[in-house]
Structure 1
């Protein structure tokens, strides 16, 4: 049976979402428990790895991601998006393999490779969507991919609970379950994560490549077969014929033009105003994924609750789903005030979460295991789920807000599509758009890296103060840009659609 173009698109996008789900499922689970696992190994085998290597590994991961994000878009000229996704998945797999026998050098190298893999995935995801979406279906396809692929925190919480249930000692054995792991448990956990990650590789490698009237198909860029792509690599470095020289001279001119637009975008008032917002986003995501889950393992009163991290993940994932299904529709009704209401919701959710963190997390729990009392609230499952929900709501609102604001902050370098969950899709006709998401990503990662390297000195109060300061600053500048660009958001049209409109006009004139 021959599939209609729309049904073919749906299958492609659904498979992309399924691959994303398995990739992020492993990624989010390891982020939640990574520092605790490393701390356990460092105590059991002194000298093998530094006890805070999990935090430093995240910093290296973000650094590699930021730097490689400036380079990986160019690779799409030679490699199909499905293979970029598959390569990214393989780089993730190298990290999980290292937990068979943890080694400090391999751990940090694999963190850097995973950062590169993440940038591969980011570019491949947006490119594949553009290859299998028309200008009329790109929004709905993005929604489908987001709904399937970016529910990993909710699914990851369930997966964590199942893993902990299977590896925890039975009551009849008389052993006490804790959040410290044996070597066998560590291998079982990361072996499971490796298996889930390899499922994403298989799905990405098997993604259909046939295109219909897609956004990418209207681009002059032609991507050859995989064999031809690899055959082109030698000619990348040797310019033999005049034709090749002319081609590469044109490419250099295009890159120079893009670089000029990139520098111009950096000088835009809106871009400068958004820098604190992007930096804050890096901090809050680091706290959401790495720092707060680690405090749950380092708090003595929660140490025997093996399901506490899973419950936190479910709470955050529930907020993401609630935001996509309910909150997003409500905020759309505010029209010009939608972004202001969104950042206001974010401010309320995160500020409440930070107050609860300050009152319920021991001062040293961000750094080491501690049995010291909290300021006011006793840590419990209920408090953890509430904080998880509030931080998840904060993550949803900030990524959705970034998705919209990046389209209109610098119109000459706007995205064609920017999904509600950190997904950006670069317009095929506007090469300057390649650099704008990289700029925000670079700024986002640099600040996160700086504070992750300072983690040994960042007590709970320090984290709350820093996050509170950047929350106020970032939310304020975001609100200013939202008001400055309200008139632009009424007519946000992708560059490809602009080009099509011009083509129709020229055809009519003819």
Structure 2
């Protein structure tokens, strides 16, 4: 094991945390891509079993539960360590894929509430664990490294989805002699009950691996860490501090970025792949979930490593430059989706023609790749700025930022059944440009604050040194 003051120890902690996130999110990410399509298939066979839009509404419940949980999770750091929060969250994540074994409204919504709590625990545990295992010099690179490894869940999920599609696709051709089947009802993609259960079993195994990895995370803080994992406050005091943080001027300045993260993540993880499934022009493209997940995961991972490496070489790369990259890539993928997707596709199966060109596997991969790059950029800058903008309330700023992000997700998923495509593809770029301008002002303000604190520290050190010299002379 590396010594706690070693940069290699910091990298080990960030890498292990990323690996835990990878396996923890694999089940959630893989299911998010196909959740509404799967629910729609089950509803078509048994309308009494679950509502046809329970996939969208369930994700709205996830982020509603997440948003509420973010209010009190910072106070739990006075009782539990960041690692404890991560362990509890891993069990909450593992409960979600069990619902695919017996899809029904009751367990579906119960598991979404539990998952929302788990996401709140994970996000606070993750960010506070990183601040206690990073210095000011290494925080940007460690955040990006952890995010890059964690987003490998999309690549692992694509492998699982691709394997299951190949397996079930052969069954459709009667090569596997009735083991399972892909049902092509009319010209839309449907999932059989057995296919769904097999996928659930695989994802349950992956979730168990996440629990094991998180349990073995190193606990000891690094020297000169940004913030210690040991808290001495009170639950009531920290709860009040969370409420005041949520309406503080500095936090309100970050709200556009947080909302952008939520809208972008919802669009990326669920609405785009659902639109591709509901597009009847894509009915014969059975590998859309696997191709899309692979592209998104590749974009997230590659961009995460680029930011991590560039942050070591270029000071501040993880802030302004990364935000600009995220805004540009978001605008590009919105143009591609707007041109190739029927406007009604997010809401219902449609045979409407696209504006300019049809979708293909290479185009789907390209769209997902650019989506992954933008999502990595926005989440990276949000995590870094929350670690810097309010030094005395880092845990609260992390949770409140996620609360606003979750609020955006709740809005999107709740109204998804009635929102046409152009609302997303036109609204997101406008919000991204606005968020970039606001973010630049926050970064400039934070830089001035850090320079002021640094100069004060130097003055205090000089004064202390002068006093010590005078005392020595008198002695």
Q: TM-score, normalised by structure 1?
A: 0.78
Change in 2 beyond 3 A, CA 1:508/1:452: farther
Which residues in structure 2 correspond to 1:83-482 (within 5 Å)? 83-133=84-134, 141-170=142-171, 173=174, 179-209=189-219, 213=223, 215=225, 221=231, 251=234, 254-255=237-238, 258=241, 262=245, 266-268=247-249, 270-326=250-306, 339-408=319-388, 411=389, 413-414=390-391, 430=392, 432-482=393-443
Deviation string for 1:464-485 (max 9, x for gaps)? Answer: 2332442343233334434555
Alignment match, 1:61: 62
Change in 2 beyond 3 A, CA 1:491/1:98: farther
Distance 1:173 1:195 in 2: 28
Which residues in structure 2 correspond to 1:30-45 (within 5 Å)? 30-45=31-46
Distance 1:507 1:261 in 2: 39
**SS across alignment from 1:304:** coil
Deviation at residue 96 of structure 1 after TM alignment: 1.4
Distance 1:491 1:318 in 2: 40
Distance 1:488 1:217 in 2: 18
Alignment match, 2:471: none
Alignment match, 1:230: none
**SS across alignment from 1:365:** coil
Deviation string for 1:394-436 (max 9, x for gaps)? Answer: 112212222343345xx4x24xxxxxxxxxxxxxxx3x22222
Distance 1:337 1:160 in 2: 35
Q: Which runs of 5+ in 2 are unaligned?
A: 176-180, 469-475
Deviation at residue 97 of structure 1 after TM alignment: 1.2
Deviation string for 1:38-92 (max 9, x for gaps)? Answer: 1111111112111111111111111111110111222232234333222211112
Distance 1:467 1:321 in 2: 23
Deviation at residue 499 of structure 1 after TM alignment: 9.4
8 Å Cα contact 2:124/2:399 also seen in 1: no
8 Å Cα contact 1:262/1:436 also seen in 2: yes
8 Å Cα contact 1:291/1:366 also seen in 2: yes
**SS across alignment from 2:190:** coil
Deviates more, 1:396-405 or 1:26-35: 396-405
Change in 2 beyond 3 A, CA 1:148/1:83: same
**SS across alignment from 1:180:** strand
**SS across alignment from 1:373:** coil
Change in 2 beyond 3 A, CA 1:207/1:342: closer
Deviation at residue 136 of structure 1 after TM alignment: 6.7
Deviation at residue 363 of structure 1 after TM alignment: 1.8
Distance 2:56 2:117 in 1: 18
8 Å Cα contact 1:342/1:401 also seen in 2: yes
8 Å Cα contact 1:407/1:492 also seen in 2: no
8 Å Cα contact 2:338/2:421 also seen in 1: yes
Aligned residue pair count:
456
Distance 1:361 1:310 in 2: 19
Deviation at residue 486 of structure 1 after TM alignment: 5.0
Q: Which runs of 5+ in 1 are unaligned?
A: 223-249, 415-429
| Root mean square deviation of aligned Cα | 3.5
Alignment match, 2:28: 27
Change in 2 beyond 3 A, CA 1:341/1:140: closer
Distance 1:219 1:319 in 2: 32
**SS across alignment from 2:292:** helix
Deviation string for 1:318-344 (max 9, x for gaps)? Answer: 222332333665688775797444333
Distance 2:259 2:227 in 1: 35
Distance 1:281 1:256 in 2: 24
Alignment match, 2:473: none
8 Å Cα contact 1:89/1:201 also seen in 2: yes
Deviation at residue 350 of structure 1 after TM alignment: 1.3
